[in-house]
Amino acid sequence: MGERDPRHVLAEVLASRRAGAFRHLTLTARGIPELFRPGTFVAASVAPTQMTRRALWIHRVSPTGTFGPTLDVVVEPRGVGGRWLADLTVGARVELTGPLGRPFSLPREPVACLLVGEGWSAAPLFPLAERLRDRQSAVTFLLSGADEAHLLTPREARRMARAAHVVTADGSVGRHGDVMSVLPAVLESTGAAVVYAAGPTALLRAVAGAAAAAGAQSQVALQEPLPCGTGLCRACVIGVRGTDGAAHQVRACLEGPVLPGDRVAWESLGGGR
């Protein structure tokens, strides 16, 4: 129970607003915002009938406000847990544990960085962009979604980054297509040395491969179900390759969910969410 340890708190919903198909929740969570680093998450308890937790990327923290430090998460109202979270009203309480997981590694020197995110999963890339920008790295976003409603805030991305490319499956906004249809060109034009990606497993795998092919490092934010988030249950084990190339099992919640793309043994993962 140290000062830098994650904590378990009863958080209060200060705001809930719709953003396209998603909901943004702003919560008080005593002690958690102060320990936040981009890429970490909170585990949320949902309806009392549900024994496992929902892992939510921390999307933003605000150090000061009327209610003290707060954090924001993005919720997709899908499944029992997602709907329960999306239905929370102002003043509702929710048990949160965090911040959990390993954060994104930041480059030591300022370099060109490309941040690739799909749908609500792109949430952890926004505070990462701010941190990279503070360290004088050139940040470019590549955001994708099924349609405009399933796109996480290109406007905010443009405010934070040098450029923000947008691609949608239905062409309702940005380019028509998927990430992989534009990624090689964006990698080339930005000359990115590091690619950060957040989204479904198939996307992460493809991005990690493309980054490696372009000679860039990659950091992927895995979106596996994390039943407890704290390392207790051992239900989230995935394969990773050590420096010796041999695969071994680790808990995604403890060793990840952010991992270097070239360390993930992709065949050990399911389809992701």
Binding site for another protein (CB under 8 A): 1-2, 5-8, 45, 48-53, 80, 95, 97, 225, 227-228, 230-235, 237, 249, 254, 270
Q: Minimal distance in Å, beta carbon 106 to another protein?
A: 24
Judge whether 113 is annotated as a binding position.
Answer: no
Q: Minimal distance in Å, beta carbon 16 to another protein?
A: 22
Check if the beta carbon of residue 226 is closer than 8 Å to that of residue 253: yes
Task: Indicate the length of the chain as a whole number.
Answer: 273
CB atoms within 10 A of CB 144: 29
Check if the beta carbon of residue 238 is closer than 8 Å to that of residue 250: yes
Q: Minimal distance in Å, beta carbon 8 to another protein?
A: 5
6 or 117, CB closer to another protein?
6
Distance CA 144, CA 146 (A): 7
CB atoms within 10 A of CB 110: 13
Q: Minimal distance in Å, beta carbon 53 to another protein?
A: 6
97 or 137, CB closer to another protein?
97
Angle at 168 between CA 82 and CA 257, to 5 degrees: 45
143 or 252, CB closer to another protein?
252
58 or 207, CB closer to another protein?
58
What strand order describes the sheet that includes 112-118? 175-176, 163-168, 138-145, 112-118, 194-198, 217-221, 258-260
Could you tell me which residues are annotated as the binding site for [2Fe-2S] cluster?
228, 233, 236, 253
